[in-house]
Structure 1
Amino acid sequence: MALEPGVILNNLDYLLWGRAPEGEIGGLLLSVIMALWAGVLSILIGAPLGVAGWLHPTLARRLLFPLADLIRAVPLLFLIFWFYFLIPLLVGGTAPGAVMVVVALTAFNTASVMYLVVAGFRALPAGQSEAAHALGFTPGQIVRRILAPQALPNILPSALGLGVMLIKDTSLAFIVNVPELTTVAGQVNGRLQVYPAEIFLTVGALYFLVCGALVLLANRFHRKRGVRW
């Protein structure tokens, strides 16, 4: 059966940004926005937790790592479902579905960011921090001036993988009917019913383009820094 490109052309704007002209962002644009928010929040929360876990190994073993493992042991789909229904119930109010998805994605990826930071610091020679401590550097100065600049190139490849996964994980928001790319594609398919191949091939291509762009940008950054991976 031949593909019908006209179906995609007629619905491409809806797949890309939903009903943004009417004030309701959706489609690929909403997927990217949710991934960006979750990524930034995961770094802002996970990186300090990773530094704390490296500075205080006992705290990490007894509290941080068990909590992180508990969160990562739960399927992300269930986290989204629970956050969407439980948080409004606990606070006695309502919240947009996209916000709850961002919260769930942030919780899930904060644990991964924390582990990345701890692993990146532990991969560096222990003698560097010991020498800096002997010279009178505070723990904060050791992290900012000595360890973080060296660990960052080692952390970036894995952080890139998390970013790509975030883009793809936003598709799970369909479970709470948030109008991101996969949800609006399902809506278009449900309305037309006879063009699933055209619609979902296009959706796959859009995810591929966004994730591929992230990989290309990261490769360019690494080439400028002379880092091979």
Structure 2
Amino acid sequence: MEQLDFSFVTWDFVSQYVLKGLYFSLLLTAIATAGGIVVGTFLALMRLSGIRALEVPASIYVTGMRSIPLVMVILWIFLLVPASVYNMIPGSYGQNYRAEISAMITFIFFEAAYFSEIIRAGIQSISRGQVSAGMAMGMTYSQNMRLVILPQAFRNMIPVFLAQTIILFQDTSLVYAIGAYDMLKAFDTAGKNFARPIETYLLAAVFYMLICFALSAMVKRVHKKVEIIR
């Protein structure tokens, strides 16, 4: 421990390495959360539809995704999707940011499996009496779900969504495996450039801990507010 040297930690270090990596980690978290909730909602509705042609594929997808390590899915998408697919993206983004785009696609569809289970549980937590009341008013299934069930379910699920988002943020470090420039990659690059890998990995752990601690505190506050509203 006496040999540790953090003298390289300056504003230039933070601005050139940390902030750049943190930006992508937060961007990936936001995109994966939004996309995962949208896709997860459709998966949850398919599983609750009672229509076997919809329920079975959704169940297979959710079970399959939840049974495979995320890092394997990241590698599969990155290695198996042809380069021609990325070339279809306007400009040179598909070629220059293949790893980042691949990571976004992977996280959206992987996290959708987890969000779908949260949403399904949230929908099932709503009293059947409210469903019956909506049907008695002449609402269709889609109207009842859109106007009565989902708004209440999403409000109840906000703390769980946020907790899953924290886990998602931690998992973004796995994109290091395909070379995407996330926060862990930023610290790793800095460690090589400054010849201080131990110090940079220690700093990475501290940064992740502080960010996740702050997010956890926010989740607790939101959870209390939701409880008050109930």
Instruction: Name the CA distance, whole Å, in 2 between partners of 1:92 and 1:103.
Output: 11
Which amino acid in the other structure matches residue 227 of structure 2? G
Instruction: Name the CA distance, whole Å, in 1 between partners of 2:141 and 2:35.
Output: 24
- Which residue pairs with 1:124 in the alignment? 126
Q: Which aligned pairs between 1:130-145 and structure 2 lie closer than 5 A?
A: 130-145=132-147
Instruction: Name the CA distance, whole Å, in 1 between partners of 2:41 and 2:22.
Output: 28
Among 11, 14, 18, the residue aligned to 1:12: 14
Post-superposition offset of 1:79? 0.9
Q: Which runs of 5+ in 1 are unaligned?
A: 18-25
Post-superposition offset of 1:30? 1.2
- Normalised by the length of structure 2, the TM-score is 0.84
Q: Which aligned pairs between 1:1-229 and structure 2 lie closer than 5 A?
A: 1-2=1-2, 3-9=4-10, 11-17=13-19, 26-56=20-50, 58-59=52-53, 61-89=55-83, 91=85, 93=87, 95=95, 96-196=98-198, 198-227=199-228
> Number of aligned pairs?
219
Instruction: Name the CA distance, whole Å, in 2 between partners of 1:57 and 1:113.
Output: 21
- Normalised by the length of structure 1, the TM-score is 0.84
CA distance change for structure 1 residues 43 and 85 in 2, over 3 Å: closer, same or farther? same
Post-superposition offset of 1:7? 2.3
Post-superposition offset of 1:58? 2.9
Larger mean CA deviation between 212-221 and 29-38 belongs to 212-221
Instruction: Name the CA distance, whole Å, in 2 between partners of 1:159 and 1:60.
Output: 24
CA contact (8 A) 2:44 2:119 kept: yes
Secondary structure in structure 2 of the residue aligned to 1:4: coil
Instruction: Name the CA distance, whole Å, in 2 between partners of 1:133 and 1:92.
Output: 46
Secondary structure in structure 1 of the residue aligned to 2:146: helix
Instruction: Name the CA distance, whole Å, in 2 between partners of 1:63 and 1:160.
Output: 27
Secondary structure in structure 1 of the residue aligned to 2:82: helix
Secondary structure in structure 1 of the residue aligned to 2:8: helix
CA RMSD, Structure 1 to Structure 2 (Å): 2.3
CA distance change for structure 1 residues 92 and 189 in 2, over 3 Å: closer, same or farther? closer
Post-superposition offset of 1:61? 3.7
Instruction: Name the CA distance, whole Å, in 1 between partners of 2:53 and 2:121.
Output: 16
Larger mean CA deviation between 163-172 and 82-91 belongs to 82-91
Q: Which runs of 5+ in 2 are unaligned?
A: 88-93
CA contact (8 A) 1:8 1:199 kept: no
CA distance change for structure 1 residues 180 and 189 in 2, over 3 Å: closer, same or farther? same
CA contact (8 A) 2:21 2:184 kept: yes
CA contact (8 A) 2:26 2:169 kept: yes
Percent identity between the aligned chains?
23
Post-superposition offset of 1:78? 1.1
Post-superposition offset of 1:227? 4.4
